[in-house]
Structure 1
């Protein structure tokens, strides 16, 4: 029985050796040898000598890339994340800071991306440093350098040490520098995000500014007799306020803008237009004559002032100003005949007192000069550019166009009779729908039965235009405006005496004293006063006026509501450093792979400890007995290590790892003496 067991064990051992040999032929040290030719110099009976070291090295070189999959993948991840960072920040550049669930903001997202990007990048850097140490020890080095390389692959402090320990290791130094500089990835990516105050469009709100195509609106005037009309009290109050306090809130336009920041679309700088009132003034001081025997200084229209004895220091009157036609400006020539009112202001003033030409008022006034200013107040279209910032409306007047009697619409010959027809102005260019029209194409406007058209004469040529392009003042309202301004508002005299200080006494028309400007009346002050008065009246007309189509339709220029919020600004320059680090990492990985391809003697071991155990000080494994046999690569080492059991012995007899892999005999003894060896062999 024992003889049988020994014979069986002998056959088992032989068969095990043969099985191992066959395995090595098909997969020698982790390499599929069936793909490579045998070396004819070796004995075919020795399977382990059928491959030359050069053939095995070529096979390993062919499989270098399989040892760097995680590192290559990590650099693709890092590259994708830096591209994602650029894309995300570019998308939100100039946009409102996004508000996401769970209080996550853009900074949080970019911080998370940069953290993952740095981790992915350092995966490859750590293995580059670890692989470099094997090349570093191709020449005699202090063994302590192993520890420095290992620490450098794990920490920034270790990388700092490696710069001084192994400055000649190019890849090691590059890897250490990348590790150190990677600390800046987080701060630099955060610096790429800047938040600033900005205006964003609020889609749920609308902005508007009132305007009018047609005046008057409902309940703005009334009839008092045949051909006579009177303004409502609110317009009268507006006119008085327009003289004494023209820039106050009572006469200001109130736009609709919920956030206080609104913009309005424009064309050629014009955001909106409205019918209103304009003024044109000239200096007529040169027409003053006197003093006469009554000490009066007189204008050709009979208006006078007298420093003594009557003490009339201000005289305001409404009358024809054709007596000053030789001084008319081009604007005044075109509008004076059709003005709502022509007003002349004659005043004694301290603002104009040429040397040797001053008046003396018997000590009541002292030295003084004279001023005469004549102005026309006329209907017109006003073109504006408007925007609203921080709750303040900025409305700038761009241009004006006079509105004159439209004899074409009235189908009557031209006449000076003021109440014969509407005062009308044609606005060009004019936007109707999505098309702009001017004098060249407005007569070709498509005839739509839902639209109203009217004829108008411009510079001697008749045109037919839609009501959207026409701005009108109805003739009864022209009569009401002209009557009130000429007879009640802007006519009267004011007196002065020393006990009044700088004030004038204007009897029941107290508001005229503002034109006196506290003894400082000048052409600029008077023309500015009439301009501000016209603006105040226009603002009132814009709120009471209507559409040309219906007196019940209020019109407005619509705009965009902007909301002051916090926006993101992408400062891309701060991403250059992270981008360069990712690019440098990719370049070093490519370079070290190329080095591995060129150096067939050095396998890819990276951070593995197994090479130190298998190829440390002295031979510790039977594989080392053949000096011609190439060292194992990482896959081969892992396979060999998985088949071996070891124990670390630390005793007085010696210290180190001891191979405790059980033998076949030990396995057989554990299974029992009555094991059928032949059946075991057959099972194999």
Structure 2
């Protein structure tokens, strides 16, 4: 028989370590009993007695509140000990105090800040050009980093809140022991959260937390889908310039001209380019600046040359030369142009203003064209027609655009000087220059010398000429300007004699294109205008360069998922904190020590003694309800 004292209570046990009866009376130890030294016991202030120091008993309790955890054996000495009643040792398990919610609050605050940063960055760059950051960092990379921070910090809060929820659940009511594992799995990953959600074991709050844990997987992809990059055109006030002419005075004195002045070579070149280039780009020689390749300008005025054509067919009359019968007659118009007979299939008649002022002051030249075969007629069908085209100095209101590096201009309006002025004496003390006032009141000037140089040169270049298919025409002497060709164009065909290349060009365009004459005269006028705008009187006009850029487009609908997830995590944390305080549950969260120290009591352990395999234990756990409660040994799960 032996006895020992522990926490103010004495126990009597036999040599096998079995307790015979406890009592509260003081029993003096016999001299044979040897006290175990304090330093050997493992507990400060604890003194144990045994009559068998070399054979330590195994204490096995059969009383309520007695468990193996309250009695320990000193492994190194092989001697048992029991704690004393010192104030430094408290009754029950040592792990009774809870933790703090500060880490979770900090984590969820960081996640809120990260989502707020994503929204702020997107709001800042929404509708703006793609930002250029150092080291090729992109907007998507920044969003991905912030989304990763949000996910990581939210998981801290979600996992610990879900872990705390199991302690709340078992503290408030008797619950199947298997749900301990369900909550534990739900706190570890998505699969556990899915099982908890669809088995409805977590209650309303647990299901809410499991839903948030599942939706958090969508945060990263949805955060990436919020921002897209689209293309748009933007305008810049730099890098676009074209010239306009305020005046033109280019002329040289020349004795070969009837007017005493000849055009400068750039103007002659422009006339020939307009007549013979046929590239559809009469303004191609105009210099411009357009760094982006696509530019536009507001409407502006410039001095130039305008072309205008009108139909004279209604005014055609039959014309018979002297001595001819009516059957062999030709046609004429009151303005003086004529076709001698049916063999003269095409004619060009030029009318140059005289110095006496028989035409408006801004008029440069008139050309009257006549023919026997209409463009829309049948081959060989005699269908006379007539058309007049005029070139005049004017002020044009231009709509200029450059698309893919190609200049395109359209005249939205024109103004001319229709006054008639006698220029026979340039030294009469009067100003003979051509002045035209634009829409904005700007006065544009064409020098009289430049006007006379064009009139004088045109009188020789655009000399009257015709195209004929008569035998007499073939026998004519071929001059430097004349040409005989076997021509097939449009409905017109056959060997034809042309007085000049200029006549050939107009004849070709008339039968080749529906608006051939108008187009050729217009091309010549445009080409001359380019010369005006390239001379000394030209000034630059600034436009807008159009660039194609990528810009940030935010689809705010995709931001719902990140916002909902982080707000849900905050609400879940707050609800868990409130529920813990309401149920006075210790804040143990996912602590492994809490699970060890506050596990099953002896009665619950004995319930599973005959279930050696894990599957059998899980089956018993599903059928066993436990609750977290206080016992003599501390807070434990009890059946």
- Same fold (TM > 0.5): yes
| Correspondence for 1:224 | 254
Distance in structure 1 (CA, Å) of the matches to 2:211 and 2:308: 77
Which deviates more, 337-346 or 273-282? Answer: 337-346
Whether 1:556 aligns to 2:589 is no
Whether 1:245 aligns to 2:266 is no
Distance in structure 2 (CA, Å) of the matches to 1:179 and 1:629: 36
Whether 1:568 aligns to 2:598 is no
Which of 222, 225, 229 is the aligned partner of 1:191? 225
| Correspondence for 2:458 | 485
**Matches for 1:74-113 after TM superposition, within 5 Å:** 74-113=107-146
Q: Is the 8 A contact 2:319 2:338 kept in 1?
A: no
1:236 CA drift (Å)? 1.4
Which of 576, 580, 583 is the aligned partner of 1:592? 576
Q: Secondary structure in 2 aligned to 1:368? A: coil
Larger strand fraction of residues: 2
Which of 368, 385, 394 is the aligned partner of 1:380? 394
| Correspondence for 2:301 | 273
Distance in structure 2 (CA, Å) of the matches to 1:257 and 1:313: 44
| Correspondence for 1:457 | none
1:599-633 deviation per Cα after TM superposition (whole angstroms, max 9, x unaligned): 2433433222344334322289xxx997799979x
TM-score between the two structures when normalised by the length of structure 2: 0.67
**Matches for 1:59-74 after TM superposition, within 5 Å:** 67-74=100-107
**Matches for 1:443-462 after TM superposition, within 5 Å:** none
Q: Is the 8 A contact 1:130 1:150 kept in 2?
A: yes
| Correspondence for 1:427 | 438
Which of 404, 414, 430 is the aligned partner of 1:400? 414
Distance in structure 2 (CA, Å) of the matches to 1:399 and 1:70: 76
Residues 191 and 246 of structure 1, relative CA distance in 2, 3 Å threshold? same
1:157-193 deviation per Cα after TM superposition (whole angstroms, max 9, x unaligned): 2222222233552222222222222222222222233
1:319-372 deviation per Cα after TM superposition (whole angstroms, max 9, x unaligned): 579xxxxxxxxxxxxx9563222222222333255xxxx9xxxxxx61132222
Which of 297, 304, 312 is the aligned partner of 2:331? 297
Distance in structure 1 (CA, Å) of the matches to 2:390 and 2:629: 119
Distance in structure 2 (CA, Å) of the matches to 1:595 and 1:416: 108
1:580 CA drift (Å)? 2.1
Whether 1:470 aligns to 2:448 is no
Q: Is the 8 A contact 1:384 1:397 kept in 2?
A: yes
Distance in structure 1 (CA, Å) of the matches to 2:344 and 2:367: 22
Distance in structure 2 (CA, Å) of the matches to 1:490 and 1:91: 70
Distance in structure 1 (CA, Å) of the matches to 2:252 and 2:345: 36
Q: Is the 8 A contact 1:371 1:523 kept in 2?
A: no
5+ residue gaps, structure 1 = 1-5, 31-59, 61-65, 322-334, 359-364, 406-413, 430-438, 440-468, 548-554, 633-684
**Matches for 1:528-677 after TM superposition, within 5 Å:** 528-547=519-538, 555-597=539-581, 599-618=582-601
Q: Is the 8 A contact 2:352 2:364 kept in 1?
A: no
Distance in structure 2 (CA, Å) of the matches to 1:396 and 1:629: 100
Distance in structure 1 (CA, Å) of the matches to 2:293 and 2:218: 42
Q: Secondary structure in 2 aligned to 1:393? A: strand
1:288 CA drift (Å)? 0.5
Q: Is the 8 A contact 1:350 1:519 kept in 2?
A: no
1:474 CA drift (Å)? 1.5
Aligned CA RMSD, in angstroms, stands at 4.1
Residues 290 and 129 of structure 1, relative CA distance in 2, 3 Å threshold? same
Larger helix fraction of residues: 1
| Correspondence for 2:177 | 143
Q: Is the 8 A contact 1:246 1:536 kept in 2?
A: no
Distance in structure 1 (CA, Å) of the matches to 2:532 and 2:212: 72
| Correspondence for 1:660 | none
Q: Is the 8 A contact 1:231 1:480 kept in 2?
A: yes
1:282 CA drift (Å)? 1.9
1:110 CA drift (Å)? 1.5
| Correspondence for 1:38 | none
Distance in structure 2 (CA, Å) of the matches to 1:280 and 1:535: 12
Instruction: Report how many aligned residue pairs link the two structures.
Output: 497
1:263 CA drift (Å)? 4.0
| Correspondence for 1:283 | 311
Q: Is the 8 A contact 1:128 1:172 kept in 2?
A: no
Distance in structure 2 (CA, Å) of the matches to 1:500 and 1:627: 122
